[in-house]
Structure 1
Amino acid sequence: MSRGFVKEDDQEETPMVPPRADLPEGLMNYVTSKGYDELLAEKEALIKEREDLEGANEKERRIASNLIHAKIQLLNERISSAQIIDLSEQPKDEVRFGATVSLKIGKANQVQRYHIVGVDEADISKKKMAFNSPIALLLMGKKVGEKAILKLLNGERKFEVIDIEYV
């Protein structure tokens, strides 16, 4: 039936799906094995949520189902493009993807630890930074004792590599 013969109340808006973490065009979608498992678990949770949908009426269920379906499509793109990096093959003496890096930042005596992970795993509140973030890019290839300098508008910030682990 033509959309011209559908009542205005029956028409549905296309759901707005929040975008996933930014992964610039042409950049490989590196993930840790844990990160890949988290993507799969997220997909399973969305599938279950769609199966368990309840709503006041059919229209609400359809809209919610469409939103979940769109989220699953975006997630499937990330899962299919994911390249799992085997951390046991990373050079132990150098900062690379998957490293947990202990850093002295600036003049602080306190050491901070950050895990360099995939864009979907990144969560700075959990001390996980995306491999394509400016700081992670500065640290790549550094060894214990080496410094990386981040140029800022009002100066610079130094990061000294204190320790590197792959867990």
Structure 2
Amino acid sequence: MGTRTRTRPDESGKPSYITPAGYRRLEEEAHHLWTVERPRMAKAVQTAAAEGDRSENAEYIYSKKKLAEIDRRLTFLGKRLDALKIVTETPPDDGRVYFGSWVTVLDDDDQESTFRIVGPDETDAESGAISVESPVGKALLRREVGDEVEIKRPRGTIRYEITAVSHREPKS
């Protein structure tokens, strides 16, 4: 099921933001865990328990552990979904980078990359979804086409020039 987050609910009192698509993915994960994975694992626990001595029953011990992991994840998702603020409004300035924006950049080697600025619960390096709280996300936020940003990393500084900003999902 998609990317899993380990993000803890923010205790600073600041809202945690998420895109509508990111929120749907978390809801779908919770639904899948509750309707598919949990019943399957509960059945596995029941089947393994019927085999007798539970103290040395590896299948029973494993199934109980997996069921507890599912329950922890469901508890986390329930609390997290309640705490998230879904960002649905389109930004007022079409040429500026805001939460939810797709940003195309050019680095010093003329390599083009496209990032989407998202909440920490929906980051996914493969798809270019980067956290608004990450160094790159923070550097790009509120910038506009033509701006250059510098990000200091342990492996050295990287510079990006913003070449495009969109607030609508690019056509595939």
TM-score scaled by structure 2?
Answer: 0.77
Q: CA separation in 1, counterparts of 2:141 and 2:158?
A: 16
* Compared CA separation, residues 23 and 77, structure 1 to 2 (3 A): closer
Q: CA separation in 1, counterparts of 2:146 and 2:96?
A: 11
Match of 1:126 in 2: 127
SS at structure 2 position matched to 1:120: helix
Runs (5+) with no aligned partner, structure 1: 1-17
Query: Is contact 2:91-2:98 (8 Å) kept?
Result: no
Amino acid at match of 2:32: A
Q: CA separation in 1, counterparts of 2:72 and 2:9?
A: 18
Following superposition, the deviation at residue 19 of structure 1 comes to 6.9
Match of 1:57 in 2: 48
Query: Is contact 1:30-1:84 (8 Å) kept?
Result: yes
* Compared CA separation, residues 120 and 144, structure 1 to 2 (3 A): same
Following superposition, the deviation at residue 67 of structure 1 comes to 2.0
Aligned length: 149
Q: CA separation in 2, counterparts of 1:46 and 1:124?
A: 24
Q: After the TM superposition, which of the residue ranges 37-46 and 110-119 deviates more from structure 2?
A: 110-119
SS at structure 2 position matched to 1:65: helix
Match of 2:113 in 1: 112
Q: CA separation in 1, counterparts of 2:83 and 2:10?
A: 13
Amino acid at match of 1:76: G
Amino acid at match of 1:133: S
Runs (5+) with no aligned partner, structure 2: 50-59
Following superposition, the deviation at residue 20 of structure 1 comes to 1.2
Following superposition, the deviation at residue 115 of structure 1 comes to 0.7
Q: After the TM superposition, which of the residue ranges 82-91 and 46-55 deviates more from structure 2?
A: 82-91
Aligned residue runs from structure 1 range 1-167, under 5 A: 20-21=6-7, 25-26=11-12, 27-48=14-35, 49-53=37-41, 54-55=43-44, 56-58=47-49, 59-60=60-61, 61-105=63-107, 107-152=108-153, 155-167=156-168
Moved over 6 A (4+): none
Alignment RMSD (CA, Å): 2.2
Q: CA separation in 2, counterparts of 1:23 and 1:101?
A: 27
Following superposition, the deviation at residue 77 of structure 1 comes to 1.5
Q: CA separation in 2, counterparts of 1:23 and 1:165?
A: 29
* Compared CA separation, residues 144 and 64, structure 1 to 2 (3 A): same
